[in-house]
Structure 1
């Protein structure tokens, strides 16, 4: 007689263990058991349910540890394999787990390795996209696991993104975290998850910035990042180009020879570069790692300029600007200042902070005891956005879309310079470097974590001081601004 053992789920180790205990207690050998998951059709010859017993069995810890993982495999014979091993253990083969050449042990090890590899891929290749729900933003990701790992790996993402609300959708199972509790539901479709969001360009820029053509090994890369995951990874769109350009870039690196490393260390926490991250994150969690220091920062900045100059999809207002205005200053600077965008004089000169706001900033830096030559100055938006009115060009504030477009260039710029502290001058700069709409006057003087992992010091833009209505307020505001610069320099 064949005994039917039905489990409530495909990876329910607790239910399997309970059923297996009953079968062993009843003396039912492996060949007399048929395993199935609830909802599956029973075999033709399954005649009776498996007996149930809660009597514990003394088995090696190694078996329990490996069985807990192996049961998540998609192999239909996994339950029978585990019961066969359990049967042999309780029948007297106490050293079975140490017999590395035993076919069943080899098969068990193969299942365990496959499941753990699948879990690693889930950790590495889940990418969240932000969606707006009725009760606020939620971050959603699509993933296609090979095995039944969704529930087992949910805690990993809870630990990583405990303060966010997120969902991971797979073909078989969905996992949702509301900030307090996990919930599991039926699977879904890839179409249920948005294909991209505002952070896609930043992910692509990040991947380009860390790609080392000298270490390109296509076979190893395809093994570690199988093509089945590429359509879910924004950075995968850059891979064919990077591979095609690798020989030329290596030749250029050899021709340039060795270069001195960045003299100033990166002072930021390293977050797993492969982990997904949502568009808006709490202040204590970086969206990205501190980007790896480029072996030739000057070259990295030159490449960045060339990339921006060659872009065919610049915003409309960029065509009206005289030229793009890139950052300038010391590579490895202690302080990197980010403003909103170039103004009229910056647009004409092609240099940042040379207009009225720049001159006021120079004066404040001097009083704060900070040499401008030892800093780096740039803007969140690289072209002058204005409204023409007769012979004048009236400054027009960039919107969130403009800031998002230029954010990848800013992230690469910060990475190449490698500052100890980023100073965000005003709301637009703070949005660009943190990805969040933080009130400047409330955040002023605080240090928060930026999207690149660098610490960010928030203060006002010098143009704010120029707009204050009377000299007394301007003097008071200027003194407070100088104090901010001193504080940022001290904290750096």
Structure 2
């Protein structure tokens, strides 16, 4: 990602180091007036000229040079984006070695540098100087005036980033050759454009977009972000076709009984309203809130509509698919019977395969790719099958549950085990699938697959090996073994032995398949 600082109006004069000193020293002044200029015998005041906006790289380089030269906060003045005015610039200190700081301090610096306060650099250098002089736990002293003031700045940046993430709206702009770009206008309180850009890259990676602000612009071309000159609000179209649908959705979800003007203004300040399409509908919705609330109270109560997985499966069974392709088409169109999932993951392999493997459910990679056993557990299964002499492309692989059930934790999707009821809901699909494939041997990988095939919980350790699935009237031979994901969860010292036992199971499966095929 390329980075070029956006332009903005320069600060008129440099700022000297903060007058805040260690607790107990006589010259501590809190947020009062600056320290007097050095006397005739004092070292010359050093002026550090930094770039406009949030010049974090420039500040880091300046700190390294100042620390290497032993320059105290009261001996340096910081200027941003312009000549230092009345202060005569001293030669810039040569850049020194990296300054070792606690991680929390480095994070605070990165958050405060985008603040609009012209004293931010001086305050940060004062903090760094005190920490290097022995106050390693300074950030934990919340009553310290310097720490308190920097904390307020950090929270102001966090609020500004949150508002930009929440209230920025893109509008479609057609371009030549049938392409399109999305453009948005935003007026941040602080210099946060570069800090906010990664959020929009991650969220709208597939689009080509431009964010315009009064200080600079961010342009994403699908591969990298570049930062350019300030933009104009007139460059953003007043609306596009998508916004009408969005306003309809907003109006349909507006709850008049919970209208709270003070809370609305606190969460969505009026300064952002002119950039958001849904706000055009707010005045009319507020005027009608009283009438709509009264109508809601007078209306007879109704029970909420609940999903009925059993009815959904029964409805699909009534369609009586005549082939595996027709069955798969039903599964693709179905609503997931477990929470989550982006698509149904169908079985894979030839109809008439001698051996069919049944796992638990798709994982994260399977859900993304739409294929069974392609994630870490699937790769381990493929390796074990190859060692046992089983050709994966001649076997049929599927799962008892056809959708990925997961819980989101940050950016990760964590697998959740399906319940017995959810396994039961999917059982009709599995039964018909095996009817169409017609294997002679079915291998159950793990307890969930056994539950789906038998209708009851069976301990894997006691049933491991050949098994008869009576629920299918013994139409095929059965075999029970562990799921490959179980091997991945074992401690390293136990993995080799467990993997060898798993390969031995698959060798027995290969021998059984040879006997059944002859």
TM-score range, shorter chain: 0.5 to 0.7
Please give the alpha-carbon distance, in whole angstroms, between the structure 1 residues aligned to 2:199 and 2:290: 38
1:52 corresponding residue in structure 2 = 94
Matching residue within 229, 232, 246 for 1:189: 232
Secondary structure of 2:111's counterpart equals helix
1:10 corresponding residue in structure 2 = 53
Deviations 1:148-190 (A, max 9, x none): 1111111111111111111111111101111112111011110
Deviations 1:5-46 (A, max 9, x none): 1223421222211101211221212222221223x2313123
Matching residue within 122, 126, 141 for 2:168: 126
* Matched-pair contact (CA < 8 Å) for 1:34–1:43: no
Matching residue within 295, 299, 304 for 1:261: 304
Matched, 1:159 2:159: no
Please give the alpha-carbon distance, in whole angstroms, between the structure 1 residues aligned to 2:293 and 2:285: 11
Matched, 1:150 2:193: yes
TM-score of the superposed pair, with normalisation by structure 2: 0.50
| Higher-Rg member (1/2) | 2
TM-score of the superposed pair, with normalisation by structure 1: 0.53
Deviations 1:274-326 (A, max 9, x none): xxxxxxxxxxxxxxxxxxxxxxxxxxxxxxxxxxxxxxxxxxxxxxxxxxxxx
Matching residue within 176, 184, 191 for 2:219: 176
2:115 corresponding residue in structure 1 = 73
**Stretches of structure 1 lacking an aligned partner (at least 5 in a row):** 268-332, 336-364, 371-419, 422-446, 448-492
Matching residue within 89, 98, 123 for 2:131: 89
Tell me: CA distance 1:210–1:52, structure 2 relative to 1, closer, same or farther (3 Å): farther
2:447 corresponding residue in structure 1 = none
Deviation at 1:334, TM superposition (A): 7.0
Runs of 4+ in 1 over 6 A off after TM superposition: none
* Matched-pair contact (CA < 8 Å) for 1:115–1:147: yes
Secondary structure of 2:290's counterpart equals helix
Q: Which deviates the most, 100-109 or 253-262?
A: 253-262
Tell me: CA distance 1:208–1:131, structure 2 relative to 1, closer, same or farther (3 Å): same
Q: How many residues align?
A: 280
Please give the alpha-carbon distance, in whole angstroms, between the structure 2 residues aligned to 1:94 and 1:153: 30
Please give the alpha-carbon distance, in whole angstroms, between the structure 1 residues aligned to 2:167 and 2:198: 16
Matching residue within 206, 209, 219 for 2:262: 219
Secondary structure of 2:149's counterpart equals helix
**Stretches of structure 2 lacking an aligned partner (at least 5 in a row):** 1-43, 322-340, 343-369, 371-518
Tell me: CA distance 1:43–1:30, structure 2 relative to 1, closer, same or farther (3 Å): farther
Please give the alpha-carbon distance, in whole angstroms, between the structure 2 residues aligned to 1:231 and 1:250: 27
Matched, 1:229 2:272: yes
2:435 corresponding residue in structure 1 = none
Please give the alpha-carbon distance, in whole angstroms, between the structure 1 residues aligned to 2:282 and 2:91: 53
Q: CA RMSD in A?
A: 3.0
Deviation at 1:257, TM superposition (A): 4.9
Please give the alpha-carbon distance, in whole angstroms, between the structure 1 residues aligned to 2:136 and 2:198: 33
Matched, 1:199 2:242: yes
Q: Which deviates the most, 215-224 or 3-12?
A: 3-12
Matching residue within 120, 128, 141 for 1:99: 141
